[in-house]
Amino acid sequence: MTQALLALAGNQNSGKTTLFNVLTGSNQHVGNFPGVTVEKKVGQLKDLKEVSLVDLPGIYSLSPYTSEEVVTRDFILQEHPNLIINIVDATNIERNLYLTLQLMELQVPMVIALNMMDEVVQSGNSIDTERLSKQLGVPIVPISAARKQGINELIRTIKKMLKHPVAVLKPDFCSGEVHRAIHAIAHIIEDHAKQCDYPLRFAATKLVEGDSVMQQKLSLHDDDIHIIEDIVKSMEHALNVDREAALADMRYCYIESICKDSVCKVQETYGQQRSEKIDRWLTHKYLGIPIFILIMLFIFYITFSVIGGALQEWLEMGIEAFTEQFSILLNNIGISNWLHELLINGVCNGVGSVLSFLPIIVILFFFLSLLEDSGYMARVAFVMDRSLRRIGLSGRSFVPMLIGFGCSVPAIMAARTLSSERDRKMTILLTPFMSCSAKLPIYGMITAAFFPDHAALILISVYLLGILVAILSGLLLKQTVFQGDCVPFVMELPAYRIPAAKSVLLHMWEKAKDFLHRAFTIIFIASILIWFLQSFDWQLNYISDSSASILASLGSALARVFAPLGFNDWRAATALLSGVTAKESVVSTLSVLTQGNDAALAQMLPQIFTPLSAYAFLAFTVLYMPCIAAFAATKRELGSWRDALLTVGYQTVAAYVVALLIFQIGSLFL
Ligand code: GDP
Ligand code: MG
């Protein structure tokens, strides 16, 4: 078989990624949350290597409003896939067929993979796929992606369709006024559509819907536009609904009429029934938020003290023992003094100080992926909606923020699922205030040195500080830069599912890999650089007193800026500066400066900070600009340097002001 391109399209949460993984044998992240896949992913079919499959983001419609819709629509229109595999969630078939009808208009050969049939069958419902297939004029294969059922049949059908491609039998499922409008418009735009290589019926329908992007792309004459608008107006008048509603009504009527014959639903699926029961509690009007807070407290407790804390101590001991043995080994082979220093004080201590946080970070991500895969995250968005509205955001923004407790990079990308530009920008701006996991080593270091008896209190307070600043910023921005209303909350609540162990483990492994990768690249290099700068003076003499080093003279200049915050010290300033490469670098820098000696670090920190200024330092690190990787994500998502720089500028200024207030006001009392 020759090269072929397949597109996997379907509603959010219909199992696209699960099917993609089954068909290609890859391990993409599956989540029980609408909008997990925001970018399209490509893979080769397992047993047909020359066939590529593209996992498109989940959508409900082909309008050009959200970026997922644009990605999917542009892909199909411009890349001309040989075949669309439309995945339909059988437990929610009416809703899913809405997209199917639009995909059919694209006139690309298509197969419907009717997914989640296991749930349909289990609850005693049934779907007459043969009949449905005849009515739609599209082959339908019932499958269960999660249980790998029906996959062979699907592959057989795919092969058959690739060999003998048949375009969708064009069922004229429009009727009445809408039918007249679509066909009249199709007649007018026929030449334009052909020129742009757009499927005629699709283009006509989009014009009836008032799709301005389509109007521009077709480059219609003004006269034609007027005629089209007249046709639409008379349709609206005759039906007494607006243009978008007219089309939606028509599609739903058609879906209803075919499902009446083919779908036998005796009861809601067990999954849906169970979800309703659970939701009575978890999305309860008053209990919803308290339950969420309890769950989060439980997660943090387990992560930081019970499991993560203990594992971290073990790992720390292991790293120390390794460093010691390594140092002895280096001495035995008689390695030169400076290289010994570089390897032990620079590399081992710099990287080691950060590495010990691996268990905590992995466990935090374990819980975050449980929240997501079980379907609870979508509920959280729902219960938080009302509160978020007060600060000018909608419940949807909550999810990126929750992910932000893990890492800002995926969090900023997750903001893509927000349909309103205003909500999206605001979410991208506020998400980094959520304290990401890379900042944990900093909290660990400062609390150990200054607040050993109140570690939990300090930890909670920093997390809350981030949230508080985000809330205040939201209120401020709502009044100024981001005026206007947030879009109403529309999100389907997926059925609760027991998270698949494979998916959760995969997620944890990916995060661990990412963290290790950073520890041995960015932090490794930063540690060497810091070691170099603090071991030599400007004349490149190797010095033992680092206060005469290059780093000291550079840092001192910057340190003055922080004097009002209570820490006018070159070491703190350079630590913050190197924290921009990766937040863990703040710790590895200070660790390198003290030759990785814990006792020396414990001695040095009080020279730099008082407990009050140490807290101001913490506050600054929570809030100031995120690391380079997150900055790059911000730039990519906002699309302009100006906006990205303004965003991190705002974050850094906010950090400065808050730390200043903490130190200055605190000084009055302490
Ligand atoms: P996507 O958003 O369309 O990519 O959907 P995902 O592949 O991420 O899957 C969404 C959820 O549906 C996950 O919790 C999957 O485990 C679950 N799922 C996928 N396919 C099936 C299936 O055939 N049966 C059942 N019961 N669950 C499934
Ligand atoms: Mg997906």
Q: Is the CB of 100 under 6 A from ligand 1?
A: no
| Tokens 């059925």 belong to residue | 495
Q: Is the CB of 16 under 6 A from ligand 1?
A: yes
Alpha-carbon 625 to chain mean position: 19
C-beta separation of 230 from 180 below 8 A: no
Instruction: Compute the distance between CA of residue 516 and CA of residue 523 in angstroms, rounded to an integer.
Output: 10
Task: Give me the residue spans of the domains in the chain.
Answer: 4-163, 176-264, 289-669
Instruction: Compute the distance between CA of residue 259 and CA of residue 262 in angstroms, rounded to an integer.
Output: 5
Instruction: Compute the distance between CA of residue 464 and CA of residue 466 in angstroms, rounded to an integer.
Output: 5
pLDDT higher than threshold 90 for residue 392: no
pLDDT-derived band at 37 (thresholds 50, 70, 90) equals low
Q: How far is the CA of 527 from the centre of ligand 1 (A)?
A: 43
SS3 468: helix
Higher-scoring residue by pLDDT: 596, 91: 91
C-beta separation of 613 from 566 below 8 A: yes
Q: Is the CB of 500 under 6 A from ligand 1?
A: yes
User: What DSSP string runs through 105-132?
Assistant: TT---EEEEEE-HHHHHHTT-EE-HHHH
- Closest CA to ligand 1's atom 8: 30
- Name the residue of 8, 11, 18 whose CB sits within 8 Å of the most ligand 1 atoms, as the mutation to test its pocket: 18
Q: Is the CB of 119 under 6 A from ligand 1?
A: yes
Segment 157-177 mean pLDDT = 82
Segment 482-495 mean pLDDT = 72
Q: Which atom of ligand 1 is nearest to the CA of 119?
A: 26
Q: How far is the CA of 17 from the centre of ligand 1 (A)?
A: 7
Pick the CATH number of 176-264 from 1.10.287.110, 3.40.640.10, 1.10.150.240, 1.10.287.1770: 1.10.287.1770
pLDDT higher than threshold 90 for residue 396: no
Q: 24 is written with which tokens?
A: 């290609």
Instruction: Compute the distance between CA of residue 444 and CA of residue 315 in angstroms, rounded to an integer.
Output: 15
What pLDDT, on the 0 to 100 scale, is given for residue 388?
Answer: 87
Q: Residue 464 — φ and ψ, nearest 5°? A: -65, -35
Q: Which atom of ligand 1 is nearest to the CA of 143?
A: 23
Segment 481-500 mean pLDDT = 77
Q: Which atom of ligand 1 is nearest to the CA of 115?
A: 23
C-beta separation of 400 from 414 below 8 A: yes
Instruction: Compute the distance between CA of residue 312 and CA of residue 638 in angstroms, rounded to an integer.
Output: 37
What pLDDT, on the 0 to 100 scale, is given for residue 309?
Answer: 80
Segment 509-527 mean pLDDT = 87
Q: Is the CB of 17 under 6 A from ligand 1?
A: yes
Q: 661 is written with which tokens?
A: 């207030």
pLDDT higher than threshold 60 for residue 1: no
Q: Is the CB of 67 under 6 A from ligand 1?
A: no
- Closest CA to ligand 1's atom 21: 146
**Least confident among 47-61, 608-622, 646-660:** 47-61
What pLDDT, on the 0 to 100 scale, is given for residue 171?
Answer: 61
Q: Which atom of ligand 1 is nearest to the CA of 499?
A: 14
Q: Is the CB of 115 under 6 A from ligand 1?
A: yes
**Least confident among 31-45, 464-478, 624-638:** 31-45
pLDDT digits (tens, 9 = 90+) for 231-255: 999 999 999 988 888 888 899 899 9
Higher-scoring residue by pLDDT: 319, 3: 319
Q: Which atom of ligand 1 is nearest to the CA of 118?
A: 24
What pLDDT, on the 0 to 100 scale, is given for residue 346?
Answer: 86
Q: Is the CB of 356 under 6 A from ligand 1?
A: no
pLDDT higher than threshold 70 for residue 430: yes
pLDDT digits (tens, 9 = 90+) for 138-158: 999 999 999 999 999 999 999
pLDDT higher than threshold 90 for residue 34: no
pLDDT digits (tens, 9 = 90+) for 261-301: 888 887 888 888 999 999 999 999 899 999 999 998 899 88
Q: Is the CB of 68 under 6 A from ligand 1?
A: no
SS3 267: coil
- Closest CA to ligand 1's atom 11: 32
Q: Which atom of ligand 1 is nearest to the CA of 10?
A: 3
pLDDT higher than threshold 80 for residue 608: yes
Q: DSSP character for 13?
A: T
Q: Is the CB of 14 under 6 A from ligand 1?
A: yes
What pLDDT, on the 0 to 100 scale, is given for residue 670?
Answer: 81
Mean of the per-residue pLDDT values of the chain: 89
What pLDDT, on the 0 to 100 scale, is given for residue 35?
Answer: 54
CA distances in angstroms from 147 to 10, 143, 274, listed in the order given = 19, 9, 20
C-beta separation of 629 from 580 below 8 A: no
Q: How far is the CA of 539 from the centre of ligand 2 (A)?
A: 56
Q: How far is the CA of 630 from the centre of ligand 2 (A)?
A: 22
Q: How far is the CA of 28 from the centre of ligand 1 (A)?
A: 12
Find all residues with CB under 8 Å of 626, minimum gap 6, and list them. 408, 432, 436, 583, 634, 648, 651
Q: Is the CB of 507 under 6 A from ligand 1?
A: no
Q: How far is the CA of 31 from the centre of ligand 2 (A)?
A: 7
Q: Is the CB of 145 under 6 A from ligand 1?
A: yes
What pLDDT, on the 0 to 100 scale, is given for residue 415?
Answer: 84
pLDDT-derived band at 168 (thresholds 50, 70, 90) equals confident
Q: How far is the CA of 11 from the centre of ligand 2 (A)?
A: 9
What pLDDT, on the 0 to 100 scale, is given for residue 170?
Answer: 62
Instruction: Compute the distance between CA of residue 169 and CA of residue 348 in angstroms, rounded to an integer.
Output: 66
C-beta separation of 299 from 350 below 8 A: no
Instruction: Compute the distance between CA of residue 406 and CA of residue 621 in angstroms, rounded to an integer.
Output: 16
176-264 matches 4-163 in CATH topology = no
What pLDDT, on the 0 to 100 scale, is given for residue 655?
Answer: 97
Helix, strand, coil percentages (3-state) for the chain, rounded to 5, are 70, 5, 25
Which listed ligand is nearest to 507 at the C-alpha?
1
Q: Residue 580 — φ and ψ, nearest 5°? A: -70, -30
Please write down the long-range contacts of 388-391, taking CB distance under 8 Å and 24 or more positions apart.
389/486, 390/475, 391/470, 391/471, 391/474, 391/475, 391/478
pTM for the model stands at: 0.77
**Least confident among 37-51, 86-100, 202-216:** 37-51
Q: How far is the CA of 115 from the centre of ligand 1 (A)?
A: 9
Higher-scoring residue by pLDDT: 488, 638: 638
Q: How far is the CA of 56 from the centre of ligand 2 (A)?
A: 8
Q: How far is the CA of 145 from the centre of ligand 1 (A)?
A: 7
Which amino acid type is present at position 76?
I
Q: Is the CB of 12 under 6 A from ligand 1?
A: yes
pLDDT higher than threshold 80 for residue 40: no
Element (H, E) at 413: helix 408-414
What pLDDT, on the 0 to 100 scale, is given for residue 593?
Answer: 85
CA distances in angstroms from 238 to 60, 211, 227, 235, listed in the order given = 27, 21, 17, 5
Q: What percentage of the chain carries pLDDT values higher than 70?
A: 95
Q: Is the CB of 30 under 6 A from ligand 1?
A: yes
Q: Is the CB of 58 under 6 A from ligand 1?
A: yes
Q: How far is the CA of 161 from the centre of ligand 1 (A)?
A: 25
Q: Which atom of ligand 1 is nearest to the CA of 375?
A: 14
Segment 631-652 mean pLDDT = 93
pLDDT-derived band at 519 (thresholds 50, 70, 90) equals confident
pLDDT-derived band at 413 (thresholds 50, 70, 90) equals confident
Q: Which atom of ligand 1 is nearest to the CA of 19?
A: 7
Q: How far is the CA of 556 from the centre of ligand 1 (A)?
A: 55
- Name the residue of 30, 125, 373, 496 whose CB sits within 8 Å of the most ligand 1 atoms, as the mutation to test its pocket: 30
What pLDDT, on the 0 to 100 scale, is given for residue 488?
Answer: 65
Instruction: Compute the distance between CA of residue 318 and CA of residue 325 in angstroms, rounded to an integer.
Output: 11
Q: How far is the CA of 355 from the centre of ligand 1 (A)?
A: 34
* Cα angle value 428/410/303 (rounded, 5°): 110
Residue 578, classified by CB atoms within 10 Å of its CB into exposed (0-12), middle (13-18) or buried (19+), is buried
CATH topology (fold) of 4-163: Rossmann fold (3.40.50)
Segment 375-399 mean pLDDT = 86
State the number of CA atoms in the 13 A half-sphere of 46 facing the CB: 12
pLDDT-derived band at 587 (thresholds 50, 70, 90) equals very high
Q: How far is the CA of 491 from the centre of ligand 2 (A)?
A: 16
> What is the Rg, in whole angstroms, of the alpha carbon atoms belonging to the chain?
29
pLDDT-derived band at 377 (thresholds 50, 70, 90) equals confident
